[in-house]
Amino acid sequence: MSIEAFTILINAAPEQIFPFIGELPRHSEWTTDRLEFESLSTGPICVGSEYRSTSHFMGTIIMAELKVKDYLPPQRFSFTVKDRTGQYEHIFTLKPQEGGTLVIREVHSVDTPFSRMIHAILLPILIKPEGNKAFRKLKEKVEHEYQKSG
């Protein structure tokens, strides 16, 4: 299994950040690609909630099935993803820090020959930079919202 990690310090409380992370449709507010979600479950988000996503990545449409694995506001959120590129688990952990919150995102992927090739080629030139850019967008979005309300 491959693991990629991203971290960022956001000047806001975990309770102010968690809605942007723990509500999958809100990921489209801070990801770098156009992303749409369709809920396949009824009721409020919880462990087991399922979604379908459509990502527009470099001119390619990627459909995925997502399932919430952990939902512990405002500390942890994780979900699994299955798409044509492989199987992944995204784990978000929020840790209060002096003056803000450290947000950690781990992406675990099931190793296959295809996923190893994708990671070897795209990780350093695209995946890592885009993941960091998305986290900077999340930081800007949350801190802007917090300044408006605080």
Q: Which domains does the chain have, with CATH numbers?
A: 2-149 (3.30.530.20)
Q: What is the pLDDT of residues 24-69, one digit of tens each?
A: 999 999 998 899 999 999 999 999 999 999 998 778 899 999 999 9
For residue 135 the two structure tokens come to 């986290």
| Predicted structure pTM score | 0.87
Residue 62: beta bridge partners?
55
- Looking at residue 51, its pLDDT comes to 98
| pLDDT tens readout for residues 70-122 | 999 999 999 999 998 889 999 999 999 988 999 999 988 877 776 666 666 65
Tell how strand 86-97 and strand 50-57 pair up. unpaired
pLDDT at 146 over 70: yes
